[in-house]
Amino acid sequence: MEWTHKHLLGISDLTRDEICYLLEKANDFRTFLDKSPKYLTNLRGYFLVNLFFEPSTRTRVSFEMAAKLLGMEVINFSTSLSSVQKGENLRDTVLTLSQMKVDVLVVRHRESGVPLYFAGFLPFHIVNAGDGIREHPTQALLDLLTIKRKFGKISGLSVAIIGDILHSRVARSLCIGLTKLGNSVVVSGPVTLVPRSIEEVGAKIVFPVEEAIQEVDVVYLLRIQRERQEAGYFPSLREYSAFYGFSEETRKLLQGNFVLMHPGPVNRGIEVASELVETPFSLIQEQVTCGLAIRMAVLDTLIGSD
Ligand code: CP
């Protein structure tokens, strides 16, 4: 396939064939990751900068590791030690990086649209590592890869996404990706956190949660963001856990062979019972490894298209 996108800004920009192409390439990298020593030289001589204005473990470290596995050099830009602290604005910060001739900028920002803004004037590749409540494309791709490897296919499946849909870029990107590939998606959670607008990206809203998760292949739990409780979206974390958390009792209500997924970080004991995180039907750990494979595929594809 001839790759025509300079940047990865959202799943919404990709066609079904482009998503499948990235999944195929990432599947090969996922197999490669089980071997040692792990070292490729595909992208030797290229430089990647991780520019994260929000905390991250999985995304930031896996982009760093993916780049290094492909032979790239990596700079982790520390916003707390940078001239951002002296009041330098976003535009001047990235223009400065641009003059240092970096090749790829991986950016996470609390405001939706920042990666699109950068793509408008920067000459190098921009990868969106999560922008506000808009998109988290590599998360959706890694989730699709995890599902594909588990079920041996990535269409015709049913997925329930549970939790804070309103503020979740993960839910938006995943809904878009799943529906583009011909899967059905239901969403559920507290009524205050499930907006009607999610239907625009192909999801069906089902209340209560117990009904939404019946007869699905994947139960996908979202992280509850603690600050939401303070904003009054639900009464207390204990109540959230009791009514929307996935417990052993919930599992017993379900029939069929479903799997449990979560983008991380997990609030053990809130959205999911701690003892279920590492069970055989949980893919939460495998999602992390698939994340590394996906980020290798994305970097290899974007730079390979130059
Ligand atoms: N899922 C996810 O984006 O995790 P991090 O915030 O740790 O990167």
Rounded average pLDDT over 137-158: 98
Q: Per residue in 9-63, pLDDT tens?
A: 999 999 999 999 999 999 999 999 999 998 899 999 999 999 999 999 999 999 9
54 near 78, Cβ under 8 Å?
no
Residue with the nearest Cα to atom 5 of ligand 1? Answer: 56
| pLDDT of amino acid 230 | 74
pTM of the model: 0.96
Q: Residue 39 has what pLDDT?
A: 85
Task: Decide whether any atom of ligand 1 lies within 6 Å of the 263 Cβ.
Answer: yes
175 vs 201: CA distance, rounded Å: 6
Q: Is the pLDDT of residue 165 over 80?
A: yes
Other C-beta atoms lying within 10 Å of the C-beta of residue 269: 15
Q: What is the mean pLDDT of residues 127-156?
A: 98
Distance 50 CA to ligand 1 centre (A): 14
Kindly state the average pLDDT of the residues 144-151: 98
Q: pLDDT tens for residues 72-113? A: 999 999 888 889 899 999 999 999 999 999 999 999 999 999
Confidence category of residue 231, pLDDT binned at 50, 70, 90: confident
Residue 267: pLDDT over 90: yes
Compute, in angstroms, the gap from residue 107 CA to the centroid of ligand 1.
13
How many other CB atoms sit within 10 Å of the CB of residue 76? 14
14-28 burial, b at 16+ Cβ within 10 Å, e below that, comes to beeebbbbbbebbbe
- How is residue 51 written in tokens? 């520019």
Sheet strands (E) in the chain: 47-52, 73-77, 104-109, 125-131, 158-162, 184-188, 204-205, 218-221, 259-261
The answer, yes or no, to whether any atom of ligand 1 lies below 6 A from the CB of 58, is: yes
- Element of type H or E holding 267: none
